Structure 1
Amino acid sequence: MTGAALILLMNFDSVSAQMPGFSPNQELALPYLAPVGGPSGPEAFVVRGLEPSVRTDSQGTVYVSSIRGVPGGTDLHRWYQAVDGPPNADGTLPFKYEGQPDNCGILTNGCAGNVGNTTNPGVTPGGGDVDIAVNAPAPGTNVPNLGLVSLSLAPGVTATHSTNRGDSFTVPNLVAALIPGDDRQWIDGTGSNLIYQNYHDVATFNIEVQRSNDGGQTYVNGFGEAIDPKTFAAAGNVTPTATANIAGRIQVDRSSCGTRGSLYQIFVAPDNVTENTGGMPMRSVYVGVSNDVKKGQRVFTFTDHKVFTSPAGSPGAANGTDNIFPALAVDGLGYLYAVWSDNSNIFLSSSGDQGKTWTAPVQVNQGPTVGKANVFPWVAADSNGHVVVVWLGDNTVGNSNDRATLEPGHPASQGAACSSGNTCMQEWAQWNVYMAESVNGHSSTPTFTQSETSDHVIHRGTVSTGGLGGGADRALADLFQVSLDPEHRANMAFSDDHKPHPLCSWLGSGQCGADDPRTTRLTRANFTRQLEANASIVKGGSCAAPSQFEQGEQEAGEGETQNSDGSKNDFSFLSYGSPRNGVLQYDDNSAHLHLRSSNGIASLSFSGSCGTSAGNAKVNGQSGYAFTAVACDYGSTSLDTFAISVSGPKGFTYGKTGNLSSGFVHLTP
């Protein structure tokens, strides 16, 4: 695609007729094309608005981010009433386009060129996945921090953040993941500057969790793995044929209850090691819980609990529970809500004891949606039992990936011509966005009120739940989201490709028929919001029951040892004997060695005043290493010792022993 005359074109926000109780769906404007090399560039990407993330901060500011795909980067829209103006008469919001946060300062001259003008080269380090997180207002400025992460498989996760409501961002950090080669990152924030990030380590498919203390610029202040050693056999990449897992977004408890500060990680996987190694569907839902994250060390562990296993013969056993993604929310009293799809229906289960026990799943979707294709669930919660679930549903019985059923008259390939004529899309499955709201979500029998929130059909045909490996239509990518504002109203952002691209005659096949699958379509993030809060929301009540820290034999330590040349080695560890679990982080900056334990620990033993832990590790992000760590508690920092030995590929060995120059070692044999 060439031609400078087309490069400046940009669509403007448009709206359509609204659904009762919700604002009209509004299309968030983006440039039509992103030129490479400026206005005379030889190439241009077709700009899409995919996989929108939506967050609403404690002051009511709404953010919507979306991806263009690698290497197109991400886009951000913001509504801040004090600057951007009040809602329009119809309830829509006058969003400000904030450009491409993950492009600032890398391939352009800072953020100024990232607002869709001709200086934007249309190439960024990321754009594969995006997520955003909001923090509490910062002391002094009273402005909530906004963190953003964007993905390209290599080098990995790009991170940046804004302290002025998205008007400018820090220069992106291209190595925000400790491990190179990672996938599907998510983030969540708490306090004024803490953000937690989770992502898949592609090699092991454990779920890596890192903490940022600087608002999401770097993620080097905390480390853990969400799949514990007991669960890893059923959920990890243990053999070449393993199914492994799919992870949802990490959640931090921001309630004022005793559970505050705990971390929760939802994922779906096979039910056991036999099913995992046999490549069977992900029929079980799990939630990993970290309470020792509240101890304040640089490492933390998770204990996994099974939420539900789809019984043999059910749609969940056949299709899996990964129709995508599993989602989790924490309400204002510390209750947990897990949501998933078996491709046919949407389910919710709740927990009032930090994930130890869960209610029997209830089917969320109702009426004409039952038994059709229902995918892409997401959940948000705030007050006591107030929970909203959104998803994408069609009007046709059949799996969302089944082209023969959902796309009659169409060959089994995306973008191909109809078998006859050019209007076969008239007979295809039609998709809309739905929301179900409950004010007693943690009841054993919660009640839901369902609404159709898209005011038009947003997509026709199949919807892939197979990610990059799927064979169905990926025009809407893999997800959309909902958030709740301070007034308890739902805000939704979703992708929409219902109309032909305005430049369709120039793009792809050159076809422009509305019902022709060869037509290049305009894909944009759309936004709608609940106009009034549910009057039955309960704002008080009893907190969920907090769990106790792990009991039994354990060791903990964190601090520094000093080398003979004056350089220091940093360490932090937690180890538990029953059930066996643990995590270790060790850094020798003078030797350029950075070690993180992998998949927990293999053993823990005690002798006298010393504890010994051993296990597998990654060194400088690479697998294949093993460690043994010996920590001795002699009653004072200057007497305590820490020793580590490491072995690895090609005969690699490393070892250090020293007295602590700062920190502590505590043993409970």
Structure 2
Amino acid sequence: MSARCHWTRSLTIATLALIASAGITIMPATAPAETVGNFSFGELGTGAVGSTGCGANVAGEPAIHVSRADNVFLGSENGLGGGSELWRGLGALGGSGASGCGLEYRGQPNAVSGVGAAGGDIDLAIASAPNTAGNYNLYVSSLNLASVNVARSADNAATFSQTPVQGGLPVDDREWIAAFGAETSLLTFHEVATNNIEVLRSDNGGVLYTRIATAIPVGDYKEANNELGNLVIDHRNLPDQTGNFYAYQSFVAPSKPGGSHNNEAFLAVSADGGHSWADRPIPCSVASATTNLDHNFPNVSVDPAGHIW
């Protein structure tokens, strides 16, 4: 888990009341949420699995995604050994009756035999095509001491299966995950020994991950000094008709060899589904040689039209 200060914390969610879809039933909150303008917000609870309503939690570093079926999934972590938490909303949650506490608590997806495993860092990914049951696979990755745990669900977070990503891996830190199609996902993390960004791929719904590349070429000056950000996949633009896809890994590093400050933003780009990468400097992102862009964490997004942000 990346070095950072820890403090008493909780996760609060705001729901915009203007994004309603007709015919969606809003899950009622069991305790009132507050409203400011068009937003309803409140602290999510971690009581019984399946419950909704405001409550209390100690989760931090949340991640939220919306599937193509308009299902909302929100994950957060309690720190190493404390486990991860997950909430869901099936169907759009907007409208005049929207509640910031309307998400349903689904428990700890990265738990093993009911014990709160993992919990160091968290990321979510949702498949871009339905599985054989008609659902979009959900992946929840979390740091588990020296390895990564990926919890996967094929039934909209009703149940989860576990994939401890351990065998043959070096000690790792700060994982990110992205999904493509019905069964493919990429997983990246920092290898502590070299500080490079390792890339793993699964083509069977997260059952098995195999190391396929590094996002920074071995021996490149940026390998030993960088801070990685998130990983995304372009679901609209395809490089060819062979099943390949574009993937993007954000990071910051020194602008030139010998630099001691991560003063330039970079984007590692793959056009073959993660098997090979080219590192591209972000135009106009260079700060002074003594200025550090090493914030946790740089972030990249691809919008539905295929534009990179």
TM-score exceeds 0.5? yes
Task: State which of 81, 93, 99 in structure 2 corresponds to 1:92.
Answer: 99
Extract unaligned runs of 5+ from structure 1.
Answer: 1-10, 33-45, 109-122, 238-243, 294-298, 338-669
Identity %: 27
C-alpha contact (below 8 Å) 1:101/1:169 kept by paired residues: yes
Q: CA deviation at 1:217?
A: 3.0
| Aligned equivalent of 2:52 | none
1:273-284 superposed matches below 5 A: 273-275=257-259, 280-284=260-264
1:129 counterpart SS class = strand
1:401-550 superposed matches below 5 A: none
Q: State how far apart, in whole Å, the 2-side matches of 1:53 and 1:307 are.
A: 25
**Greater helix share, 1 or 2?**
1
1:264 counterpart SS class = strand
C-alpha contact (below 8 Å) 1:257/1:334 kept by paired residues: no
| Aligned equivalent of 2:174 | 184
AA in 1 matched with 2:308: L
Structure 1 or 2, whichever has the larger Rg, is 1
Q: CA deviation at 1:328?
A: 0.6
1:257-656 superposed matches below 5 A: 257-258=238-239, 261-275=245-259, 280-293=260-273, 300-308=275-283, 309-312=285-288, 317-337=289-309
| Aligned equivalent of 1:216 | 206
AA in 2 matched with 1:323: H
1:17 counterpart SS class = strand
Q: CA deviation at 1:249?
A: 1.1
Summarize deviations over 1:301-347 as a string: whole Å, max 9, x none: 111111144343xxxx544112221111123343322xxxxxxxxxx
- Residue 76 and residue 14 in structure 1: after superposition, are their counterparts in 2 closer, same or farther (change >3 A)? farther
AA in 2 matched with 1:99: G
Q: State how far apart, in whole Å, the 1-side matches of 2:157 and 2:256 are.
A: 44
AA in 1 matched with 2:205: G
| Aligned equivalent of 1:53 | 63
Q: CA deviation at 1:159?
A: 1.2
Q: Are residue 227 (structure 1) and residue 245 (structure 2) matched? A: no
Q: State how far apart, in whole Å, the 2-side matches of 1:18 and 1:187 are.
A: 33
- Residue 301 and residue 272 in structure 1: after superposition, are their counterparts in 2 closer, same or farther (change >3 A)? same
| Aligned equivalent of 2:125 | 133
C-alpha contact (below 8 Å) 2:80/2:145 kept by paired residues: no
| Aligned equivalent of 1:205 | 195
AA in 2 matched with 1:17: T
| Aligned equivalent of 2:148 | 157
Q: CA deviation at 1:251?
A: 1.3
Q: CA deviation at 1:160?
A: 1.6
- Number of residue-to-residue matches in the alignment: 269
AA in 1 matched with 2:279: D
AA in 1 matched with 2:44: L
Summarize deviations over 1:57-98 as a string: whole Å, max 9, x none: 0010000000111111000000003xxx96463432621100
C-alpha contact (below 8 Å) 1:13/1:29 kept by paired residues: no
C-alpha contact (below 8 Å) 1:14/1:28 kept by paired residues: no
Q: State how far apart, in whole Å, the 1-side matches of 2:30 and 2:297 are.
A: 30
Summarize deviations over 1:535-560 as a string: whole Å, max 9, x none: xxxxxxxxxxxxxxxxxxxxxxxxxx
Q: Are residue 148 (structure 1) and residue 146 (structure 2) matched? A: no
AA in 2 matched with 1:134: I
| Aligned equivalent of 1:250 | 231
Q: CA deviation at 1:263?
A: 1.4
Q: State how far apart, in whole Å, the 2-side matches of 1:330 and 1:324 are.
A: 20
AA in 2 matched with 1:331: D
Extract unaligned runs of 5+ from structure 2.
Answer: 1-28, 49-55
C-alpha contact (below 8 Å) 1:245/1:269 kept by paired residues: yes
1:200 counterpart SS class = strand
C-alpha contact (below 8 Å) 1:151/1:157 kept by paired residues: yes
Q: State how far apart, in whole Å, the 1-side matches of 2:119 and 2:280 are.
A: 33
AA in 2 matched with 1:179: L
AA in 2 matched with 1:91: A
Summarize deviations over 1:391-443 as a string: whole Å, max 9, x none: xxxxxxxxxxxxxxxxxxxxxxxxxxxxxxxxxxxxxxxxxxxxxxxxxxxxx
AA in 1 matched with 2:282: V
2:117 counterpart SS class = coil
